[in-house]
C-alpha cells in the first residue's frame, strides 16, 4: 500500500507540474505533458532510458491510431464550414420546426454541426441565427446562446471525429463504432435534457440583463460570410453521415463474423471512412468554392490540426508512462476497494475529468489525460470501457471558465460580461456534465 501511495503522490506532483507550467509560466500544454511524463517516469523508478522509450512509444502509438483520422476530420469540417454547408444544415433544421420547439431545434442544429467541426466554429456559425430566433420567440439572449453552447459542447465532447471521443476507442481499446453510437445517442438526449433544465433555471430569474450583457461591444453578435450558392443541407450532411455509417457497419459485421471479411474491415477502418468523408466534402464544396479556395481551406485546416495532434500525442506519452509505472492498479487499490464497483470507477473518472478541466481549461487535455489514467483501471472491473470513456468525458465537459478559450469566444461574440459568460457557458456545461454522468451510470448497469 505504501508503494501505491508513493505512486499516487508522484502522479499528484506530475499534475502540479502540468498546471504550474501551463498556468503560471504559460507553457504550451503539450510541452508540460512531456515534462510531467519525464518526472513521473524517473521518480517512479522506470529509469532514464525506459522513461524516454515509454514517452516515444506512447506518442507514436497514439499518433499511429489517430494522427491521420484527426487530420482528415478537421479538413472535413473546415470544408463543410467554408462552403456554407454548415449554415445550410442549421437553417434547414430551424425552418422545419415550430416556434414552440425552435430553441430546441437550435440546440439540435448546434449538436449536428459540432460533430465534424470544433466548438468555436459551430458557435460562430449559429450565433447570428440564434439572435434572430431569440428575438422572434421573444426570449432573452441566454436562451438562444445557451442552446447552441450546450449542443456544440456536448457533441464536441462525445461524438467522433472530434479528438477526445475519437481517442477514446484507442486509449480504452474498444470498437469505435460503439463510441459513435453511444456518444450520439447519449449526447443528443443529454443535449435536449440539459436545454430543458437550463431553461427552467432561466425561467426562475437567473439572468440579469443589466449585469450579464455587455452593451458596449460594437460587434455584439458576430458575423459569418456565407457563399452565395452553398450546398444544400442534404448534400452537406453526406460527409458527416457517410463515415459514421461505414464505421458502424464494421461493428455490425463483427456480430455476424468471428473476424470481419477483409473488404468490411478495410472500408470500416477509421482512416478509410474519414478519407471518403473528406473526399465527399471536397467535391460537395465545389458547388460554392473554387479548387483554389478548397485547397486553401484544407491547408488552413491542417495548420490548425498541428497543436491538436501535439497535445493528443503528448497525452498518449503521459498515458504510457502511467501504464508502465503501474499507477492504474494503485488507483484501484486506494480509491476502489471493491474491484467490482462500477459506480466507483465512473465517479473516479468523472471527478478526475472535472479536476483537469477546471484547472487547465482544456477539455481535450482533461478527457485524454483522464482516459489514459483510467485505461488500466477499467480492465479490472466489470464495466464496458465505453462507459469509462463517457464518465471521463463528462467530467471534462464540466466547469469551463476564464482559463478556457471557448469561454471567451462565446462570451465576447455573444456580447456578454464575464458574469454573463459564467451564467451561460460555465453553468450550461456543468448541467450537461451531470446529465451525461447520470445517463452513464444508468447505461453502465444495463449494457
Q: What is the pLDDT of residues 132-166, one digit of tens each?
A: 666 666 778 888 889 989 998 999 899 887 778 88
Across-strand partners of 213?
416
pLDDT over 90 (residue 334): no
Please tell me the predicted confidence (pLDDT) of residue 374.
Answer: 83
Most confident of 108-117, 241-250, 269-278: 269-278
Across-strand partners of 415?
none
Complete DSSP assignment for 338-372: STT-HHHHHHHHHHHHHHHHHHH--HHHHHHHHHH
Q: Under the phi-then-psi rule, with left for phi > 0, alpha for psi from -120 to 50, and beta for the rest, what region is 28? A: beta
pLDDT classification of 64: cutoffs 50, 70, 90: confident
Neighbours of 344 (CB within 10 A): 18
Which has the closest alpha carbon to 71: 297, 304, 256? 304
Cα–chain-centroid distance for residue 250?
23
Which residues lie below 8 Å from residue 331, measured CB to CB, with a gap of 6+?
Answer: 8, 348, 373, 374, 377
Please tell me the predicted confidence (pLDDT) of residue 433.
Answer: 93
Radius of gyration of the chain (CA): 22
Please tell me the predicted confidence (pLDDT) of residue 195.
Answer: 94
Please tell me the predicted confidence (pLDDT) of residue 79.
Answer: 86
Rounded to whole angstroms, the Cα distance separating 447 from 439 reads: 12
Rounded to whole angstroms, the Cα distance separating 262 from 326 reads: 36
Size of the chain, expressed as the number of residues it contains: 447
Please tell me the predicted confidence (pLDDT) of residue 337.
Answer: 52
Q: What is the mean pLDDT of the chain?
A: 80
Please tell me the predicted confidence (pLDDT) of residue 222.
Answer: 45
Rounded to whole angstroms, the Cα distance separating 371 from 171 reads: 7
Please tell me the predicted confidence (pLDDT) of residue 331.
Answer: 66
Which has the closest alpha carbon to 150: 184, 117, 196? 196
What number is the average pLDDT over the span 306-319?
75
- Asked if 350 and 394 count as a contact pair (C-beta separation under 8 A), the reply is yes
Which residues lie below 8 Å from residue 122, measured CB to CB, with a gap of 6+?
Answer: 86, 110, 113, 114, 148, 151, 152, 155, 156
pLDDT over 80 (residue 176): yes
Rounded to whole angstroms, the Cα distance separating 108 from 192 reads: 8
What number is the average pLDDT over the span 359-383?
76
Q: What is the pLDDT of residues 5-31, one digit of tens each?
A: 888 788 888 878 877 887 678 787 778
Q: At what angle do helices 233-256 and 270-284 cross, to 10 degrees?
A: 160
Comparing 6-10, 191-195, 280-284, the range with the smallest average pLDDT is: 6-10
Across-strand partners of 416?
213
Domain ranges for the chain, please list them: 2-446
Q: At what angle do helices 291-325 and 327-335 cross, to 10 degrees?
A: 70
Rounded to whole angstroms, the Cα distance separating 174 from 186 reads: 17
Measured in degrees and rounded to the nearest 5, phi and psi for residue 289 equal -120, 140
Q: Which comes out higher in pLDDT, residue 236 or 282? A: 282
Please tell me the predicted confidence (pLDDT) of residue 221.
Answer: 45
Under DSSP, is residue 234 helix (H, G, I), strand (E, B) or coil? helix
pLDDT over 50 (residue 3): yes
- For the chain, the straight-line distance linking the first and the last C-alpha, in angstroms and rounded, comes to 33
Q: Containing H/E element for 321?
A: helix 291-325
Q: In this structure, what C-alpha cell is assigned to residue 296?
A: 486553401
pLDDT over 60 (residue 339): no
- Asked if 81 and 121 count as a contact pair (C-beta separation under 8 A), the reply is yes
Rounded to whole angstroms, the Cα distance separating 264 from 268 reads: 6
Please tell me the predicted confidence (pLDDT) of residue 121.
Answer: 66
- Asked if 69 and 166 count as a contact pair (C-beta separation under 8 A), the reply is yes
Q: What is the pLDDT of residues 200-246, one digit of tens each?
A: 998 888 888 877 776 654 444 444 567 778 888 888 888 878 887 88
What number is the average pLDDT over the span 323-351?
72
Please tell me the predicted confidence (pLDDT) of residue 344.
Answer: 82
What number is the average pLDDT over the span 369-394?
83
Q: Which comes out higher in pLDDT, residue 403 or 390? A: 390
The DSSP call for residue 101 is G
Please tell me the predicted confidence (pLDDT) of residue 220.
Answer: 42
Most confident of 73-77, 83-87, 278-282, 400-404: 278-282
What number is the average pLDDT over the span 347-371?
81
Amino acid at each position: 500500500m505504501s508503494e501505491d501511495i508513493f505512486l499516487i503522490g508522484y502522479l499528484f506532483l506530475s499534475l502540479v507540474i502540468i498546471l504550474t507550467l501551463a498556468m503560471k509560466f504559460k507553457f504550451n500544454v503539450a510541452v508540460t505533458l512531456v515534462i510531467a511524463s519525464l518526472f513521473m517516469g524517473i521518480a517512479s523508478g522506470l529509469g532514464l532510458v525506459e522513461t524516454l522509450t515509454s514517452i516515444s512509444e506512447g506518442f507514436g502509438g497514439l499518433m499511429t491510431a489517430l494522427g491521420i483520422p484527426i487530420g482528415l476530420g478537421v479538413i472535413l469540417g473546415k470544408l463543410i464550414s467554408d462552403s456554407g454547408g454548415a449554415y445550410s444544415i442549421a437553417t434547414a433544421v430551424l425552418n422545419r420546426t415550430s416556434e414552440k420547439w425552435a430553441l430546441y431545434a437550435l440546440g439540435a442544429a448546434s449538436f449536428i454541426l459540432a460533430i465534424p467541426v470544433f466548438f468555436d466554429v459551430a458557435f460562430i456559425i449559429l450565433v447570428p441565427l440564434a439572435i434572430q430566433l431569440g428575438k422572434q420567440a421573444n426570449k432573452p439572449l441566454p436562451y438562444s446562446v445557451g442552446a447552441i453552447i450546450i449542443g456544440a459542447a456536448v457533441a464536441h465532447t462525445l461524438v467522433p471525429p472530434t479528438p477526445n471521443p475519437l481517442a477514446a476507442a484507442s486509449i480504452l481499446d474498444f470498437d469505435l463504432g460503439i463510441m459513435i453510437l453511444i456518444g450520439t445517442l447519449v449526447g443528443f438526449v443529454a443535449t435536449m435534457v440539459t436545454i430543458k433544465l437550463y431553461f427552467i433555471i432561466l425561467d426562475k430569474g437567473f439572468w440579469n440583463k443589466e449585469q450579464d450583457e455587455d452593451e458596449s461591444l460594437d460587434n455584439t453578435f458576430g458575423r459569418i460570410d456565407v457563399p452565395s450558392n452553398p450546398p444544400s443541407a442534404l448534400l452537406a450532411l453526406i460527409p458527416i453521415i457517410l463515415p459514421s455509417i461505414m464505421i458502424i457497419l464494421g461493428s455490425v459485421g463483427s456480430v455476424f463474423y468471428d473476424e470481419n471479411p477483409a473488404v468490411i474491415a478495410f472500408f470500416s477502418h477509421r482512416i478509410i471512412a474519414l478519407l471518403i468523408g473528406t473526399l465527399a466534402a471536397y467535391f460537395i464544396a465545389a458547388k460554392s468554392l473554387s479548387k483554389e479556395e478548397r485547397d486553401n481551406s484544407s491547408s488552413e485546416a491542417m495548420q490548425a490540426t498541428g497543436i491538436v495532434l501535439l497535445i493528443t500525442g503528448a497525452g498518449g506519452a503521459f498515458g504510457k508512462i502511467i501504464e508502465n509505472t503501474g499507477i492504474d492498479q494503485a488507483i484501484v487499490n486506494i480509491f476502489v476497494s471493491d474491484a467490482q464497483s462500477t459506480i466507483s470507477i465512473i465517479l473516479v473518472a468523472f471527478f478526475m475529468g472535472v479536476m483537469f478541466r477546471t484547472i487547465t481549461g482544456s477539455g481535450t487535455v482533461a478527457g485524454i489525460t483522464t482516459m489514459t489514467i483510467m485505461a488500466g483501471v477499467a480492465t479490472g472491473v466489470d464495466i464496458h470501457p465505453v462507459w469509462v470513456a463517457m464518465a471521463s468525458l463528462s467530467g471534462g465537459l464540466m466547469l469551463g471558465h476564464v482559463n478556457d478559450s471557448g469561454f471567451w469566444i462565446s462570451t465576447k461574440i455573444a456580447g456578454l460580461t464575464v458574469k454573463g459568460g459564467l451564467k451561460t457557458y460555465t453553468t450550461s456545461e456543468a448541467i450537461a456534465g451531470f446529465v451525461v454522468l447520470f445517463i452513464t451510470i444508468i447505461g453502465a448497469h444495463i449494457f
